[in-house]
Amino acid sequence: MAASVHCSIVSAEQEIFSGLVEMVVATGTMGELGILPGHAPLLSGIKPGPIKLVLEGGVDEIFFASGGFIEVQPTSITVLADTAIRADNIDEAAAAEAERKAQAELLDQRAEVDFARVTADLQEQAAMLRTVRKMRDQKNRV
């Protein structure tokens, strides 16, 4: 059996995951993070996008985080996400529609647009769609 470490994914609303993992992959503010048991302590912001957990036995589970922080300690990994959901629970059609609306809002020159808010919404919806596609690609490989 491969080495494992305890991982928790927590959003403002609830704990989404708690269990032993062999690896965590997330996008930090400075780039991709691949975290294995025994990793050096680390605190990093995370960008909106997929968080991949490799569970004991090599089974992958994918989550979406809208941003937040990841803390790595010798015996634990904690993801504190603004919003987090299992990739299986993402409504791909709703995310695609929200992305389309955000793009249209950016292009509407007649409306007063809060560009920072709309751009953040657009990035979050694009990251959510990337998460769904990553999960689907992974299932197709099995």
**What would the pLDDT profile of 71-90 be if each residue is shown by its tens digit?**
999 899 999 999 898 888 87
pLDDT of residue 1: 52
* CA distance linking residue 50 with residue 89, whole number of Å: 13
Where exactly does CATH 2.60.15.10 map onto the chain?
5-87
Closest CA to 62 of 132, 140, 141: 132
Residues of the chain with pLDDT below 70 are 1-2, 109-111, 113, 122, 139-142
Structure token pair of residue 97: 């529609």
Q: What pLDDT score was predicted for residue 109?
A: 66
* CATH code of the domain occupying 5-87: 2.60.15.10
